[in-house]
Amino acid sequence: MGSYSCKQVVAQSAWPNSACSRAAPSVSAAHAFTRCHSARSASTGSGVEKRRCPGGPGMKREDLEHIIRAAADITNEYEFVVVGSQSILGPIPNPPAVFTMSAEADIYPLNATHKADAIDAAIGEGSRFHETYGYYAQGVGPETACLPAGWESRLQRIQTAGTNGRVGYCLDLVDLFMAKAAADRDKDRVFCMALIQHGYVLPRTAISRVDDMPIDRAAQGRLRARIKRWTKALLDQGHATPADDA
């Protein structure tokens, strides 16, 4: 995700509301790459890796699982939170291509947010991991995404053989929509309108969550109007979005 952020107010101590000072990586980037590279070869039953050139097709569910597994190797942590567009791969493992154009997964360790820089250093943009697989992780913090109250209770869990039993928590679709709508960059508008167009998010549901956003009343008003404007634009384009949803 980009630089947009807002302060998160989270009741449970397990969900920190600000990024801590970042510590040095617990393992070297080269060692972490070797471990996750070997594990990926073993998990596919082949010593030959499928490589994707940076800038190629977007991320797949198995790629996100690989990132979670690699992040666990790097940080020695068990649970991770995934925010940003590729969080969609939690609730929808095989979404249409419009949702998976990004090669980046924004991720942080749930109980050790200060280790996010270790993830960046080992498997971030421009790393050997990125060059090998064509996708990468960006270590972020809980403040990266502006999310409605109660988002923690709606997280979607990924825990598979592909994550080596580690856990990745992905955003609920409406919460993901709200974070992207609040950021309001061009790519966020495209992503949000596609969520509405494909029926993954109903405008009335999104609008009902505006009051839960940790932004002031004026910003909430602009956000509400933005969602209505996007819905009208889809209707004007002939998409079958229920008119009364906005």
**DSSP H helical segments within the chain, as ranges?**
29-44, 61-75, 116-123, 128-133, 173-183, 186-197, 203-208, 217-236
29: DSSP letter: H
Supply the mean pLDDT for the chain: 83
Q: How many CA atoms lie within 13 A of 98 on its CB side?
A: 13
CB burial string 217-231: b at 16+ within 10 A, e below: eeebeebbebbeebb
Beta-carbon count within 10 A of 43 CB: 15
The pLDDT assigned to 35 comes to 52
The pLDDT assigned to 183 comes to 97
The pLDDT assigned to 9 comes to 29
Q: Give tens-digit pLDDT for 56-79.
A: 568 999 999 999 999 999 999 999
The pLDDT assigned to 131 comes to 97
Whether the Cβ atoms of residue 179 and residue 220 lie closer than 8 Å to each other: no
The residue ranges of the chain whose pLDDT is under 50 are 1-31, 34, 38-39, 41-50, 53-55, 243-244
Q: Give tens-digit pLDDT for 154-197.
A: 999 999 999 999 999 999 999 999 999 999 999 999 999 999 99
Ordered by start, the domain boundaries in the chain are 29-170, 174-245
- d(CA 124, CA 6) in angstroms, rounded, equals 23
The pLDDT assigned to 37 comes to 52
- d(CA 177, CA 192) in angstroms, rounded, equals 6
The pLDDT assigned to 7 comes to 35
* Predicted TM-score of the model (pTM): 0.80
